[in-house]
Amino acid sequence: MVKRYKWIILLLVLALGLLLGMFTVHSSAASEPGRTEVVFWHSMGGVAGQTLMQIVDDFNHSQNKIYVKPVYQGSYEESLAKFRTIGGTKDVPAIVQTYEVGTKFMIDSGYITPVQSFIDEDHYNTKALEENILKFYTVKGKLYSMPFNSSTPVLMYNATAFKKAGLDPNKPPKTFSEVEAYAEKLVQNNKGMDGFSFLNYPWYFEEMVTTQGAYNYNNANGRTGPITKSLVNSSQGIKVLQWLQNMKKKHLLTYFGTNGGNEQAAFLTGKLGMFLSSSAGAAQLIQNAPFKVGIGFLPHVDGVKPQGVAIGGASLWLPKGPSAKTQQAAFTFMKYLESPAVQAKWHVGSGYFPINKLAYKEPLLEKTYKKIPQLKVSADQLHRTIPSYYTRGFITTITPQARMVLQQSIDGVMNGQSPKASLDNAAQSITDIIERTNRANQK
């Protein structure tokens, strides 16, 4: 009973720490006279937000010509909704952080200045930046936004429980069948433990389709032409949901729906052996778990050469409206954020992997990897990703609506519905949304 209360207290402390972190990132000192002010809208809370504030303070103290004023705008969705209302007016900030899902809207809005124009004018060398990340935000040879916080889906696992089950804690499962076999051993050798879980966040489904070398939308995910059709009911998509459903039927998968908090709590209390997560949460999870945490690549279908993953996260945009001087100051700050030393600090403090490849040579990162080698897994996965239209990610404005449809489809399958029938219905519903959106944009 005492041990149980100890875990409850630990989880309450972690939750309180996260809330306190979210509040602390709201504050910033007043700007200084004579300096060009750069208002920076961001959506970083918790530990990532605290790290970002430290980086901003470092920049503000490193010179006396530019002052960056960070302003927390809530979630990515909330921030983008606010930007929609003021885009094209004099009230826009100098920099807006927007998640990858908002890329298509930002490009089509006419409210932004592509960073490519500043890169060309400044002769800024982007060769040290991660190619797979740059390609996501590049359309028709033009980089529209500056990559900043990027992540990929990974497999988190209880390495201590692996060892107890006779599994090699340094060799996580790679394929669907291996996940199933590992889950079975975890259940058999760790009393009260569930082997694997799946959170109903469609990003994971989309990524498991991507790594099979398949598209979620037609026209190469919108990279070779406007998206007109959903392809979620491809054979690759059906394989993903069929596997998850079979795992659940065998009692090797526990389903938390959309409740990520419950999933993490189950993992931290030793009741869950493996689950899918964003690499951005790795550092905090490793630090908080009372056992050794392992990290593996996103599992893939058996017999398929994995193509890798498309990046998640967000990038930084330059809205039209601020003066040329302010925009140049904003770009100067962006270059500072991309520097090796800052990217190393950002990676260690936030969990998001470095955008600049030279960051891996920084003493801070070399020291951290010796202590926590698991953090490098997400970067290794990115570097092994095969550059292609599959792994560049899709570009569309209807992702939030599409993911709501997919959530319903996944939920139905987890409760016994046919994967093919469910995804056929989802594909038709998403295609209807695409057609309505395309018609509206043509008016």
3-state secondary structure the chain: CHHHHHHHHHHHHHHHHHHHHHHHCCCCCCCCCCCEEEEEEECCCHHHHHHHHHHHHHHHHHCCCEEEEEEECCCHHHHHHHHHHHCCCCCCCCEEEEEHHHHHHHHHHCCEECHHHHHHHHCCCCCCECHHHHHHCEECCEECCEEEEEECEEEEEEHHHHHHCCCCCCCCCCEHHHHHHHHHHHHHHCCCCEEEEECCCHHHHHHHHHCCCCCCEHHHHHCCCCCCCECCCCHHHHHHHHHHHHHHHCCCEEECCCCHHHHHHHHHCCCEEEEEEEHHHHHHHHHHCCCCEEEECCCECCCCCCCCCCCEEEEEEEECCCCHHHHHHHHHHHHHHHCHHHHHHHHHHHCCECCEHHHHHCHHHHHHHHHCHHHHHHHHHHHCCCCCCCCCCCCCCCHHHHHHHHHHHHHHHHCCCCHHHHHHHHHHHHHHHHHHHHHHHHC
Alpha-carbon distance values, 151 to 340, 345, 410 (Å):
17, 16, 23
pTM value is: 0.88
Q: Which domains does the chain have, with CATH numbers?
A: 2-151+312-383 (3.40.190.10), 153-308+398-442 (3.40.190.10)
240: its two tokens: 């993903």
Phi, psi of 317 (to 5 degrees): -120, 150
Closest CA to 189 of 143, 158, 149: 158
pLDDT tens track of the chain, all 443 residues? 444 444 444 454 444 444 444 444 444 445 677 899 999 999 999 889 999 999 999 999 999 999 999 999 999 999 999 999 999 999 999 999 999 999 999 999 999 999 999 999 999 999 999 999 999 999 989 999 999 999 999 999 999 999 999 999 999 999 999 999 999 999 999 999 999 999 999 999 999 999 999 999 999 999 999 999 999 999 999 999 999 999 999 999 999 999 999 999 999 999 999 999 999 888 889 989 999 999 999 999 999 999 999 999 999 999 999 999 999 999 999 999 999 999 999 999 998 989 999 999 999 999 999 999 999 999 899 999 999 999 999 999 999 999 999 999 999 999 999 999 999 999 999 999 999 999 988 85
284: its two tokens: 């905090």
The C-alpha atoms of residue 417 and residue 409 are separated, in whole angstroms, by 9
